[in-house]
Amino acid sequence: MRHSLGTRAANRPLRELFRLDSELSMTEAPLSTVNASRRDVASTIPLPRILVVEDDEDIARLIVMHLEDLNAELTHCDRGDDALQLARSESWDLMVLDLRLPGVGGLDICRQLREQGSITPILMLTAKSSELDRVLGLELGADDYLTKPFSPLELTARAKALLRRAGMTRQQTRSQENNAEDPPLELGPFSICDRTHRVTMNGDRIELTSREFDLLLHFAKQPGRVFRRSELLDEVWGYGHDGYEHTVNTHINRLRGKIEEDPGNPLYVSTVWGVGYRFQVEP
């Protein structure tokens, strides 16, 4: 269910929870009213909606405090089963999802949403030592991840990038529907429309997450070019870090699973050993 954060007499040291870039103060306002002043501003532009799923009160409060800088409508939930119900019943532009939750775990939430066709971007929060969880989360459909402790500035940057790349706010959706310019990119069996994030293969619709779509479009704009993993991180994810290169691998595997007849012997997205990946179609 929707949840407003209460106060605690003694909070744990914040430096144990977040890697702080500056001294931060905790707000005692209920989470449901933290960004009320922003929502009261008269505007015809709907705000992006972010669902924060985190059972640790201190971490959740800081996440909300920083994500409100994105001028978004924020909802917090501290149980996995409640979060899954909210994610299924309402439209969201981003989910910030902790993996260790009471009720349904974050990995199960991610898996169930992707199996049901949800393409809501998911930013996954994991413990520093949980590399297996990170890999599983990416395999199951998470778009990005952060390990605790993390910088609030990095959290905001990642969330902003996912919102921007997803193109899923109501304002963007309306403008896409009303704008008939920019025909789809036609390449072999693929038709890729950047305006609507719609992909068809041999006329059949393919449901891709925002990150999978970004990867495919990036490849398709430069067919035959070999991309190093670091290049894909910089150009598709918007950041480069050696520790995140397996993020590229898992998203490539997921993309292959949706467009390749035999993902183990890919026809379109091939591995160039020792270098990276190449996308090509028969002329």
Per-residue pLDDT tens digits for 113-131: 988 888 899 999 988 667 7
With 50 as the cut, is the pLDDT of residue 67 above it? yes
pLDDT in tens, 21-54: 433 333 334 444 344 444 444 345 678 899 999 9
Q: Model confidence at 190, in pLDDT bands (50, 70, 90)?
A: very high
With 50 as the cut, is the pLDDT of residue 91 above it? yes
Q: Model confidence at 132, in pLDDT bands (50, 70, 90)?
A: confident
Query: How much is the pLDDT for 242?
Result: 53
Query: How much is the pLDDT for 17?
Result: 44
With 80 as the cut, is the pLDDT of residue 245 above it? no
Give residues with Cβ within 8 angstroms of 274, minimum separation 6.
none
Share of the chain above pLDDT 70, in %: 75
Secondary structure percentages of the chain, helix, strand, coil, to 5: 40, 20, 40
Query: How much is the pLDDT for 128?
Result: 67
Query: How much is the pLDDT for 195?
Result: 78
Give residues with Cβ within 8 angstroms of 182, minimum separation 6.
193, 194, 195
The amino acid at residue 41 is V
Query: How much is the pLDDT for 80?
Result: 94
With 60 as the cut, is the pLDDT of residue 149 above it? yes
pTM of the model: 0.64
The amino acid at residue 215 is L
For 70-90, b/e burial (b = at least 16 CB within 10 A) is bebbbbbbbbbebbbebbeee
Average the pLDDT over 157-179 and give the result.
64
Query: How much is the pLDDT for 10?
Result: 33
Measure the CA–CA gap between 3 and 75, rounded to whole angstroms. Answer: 8
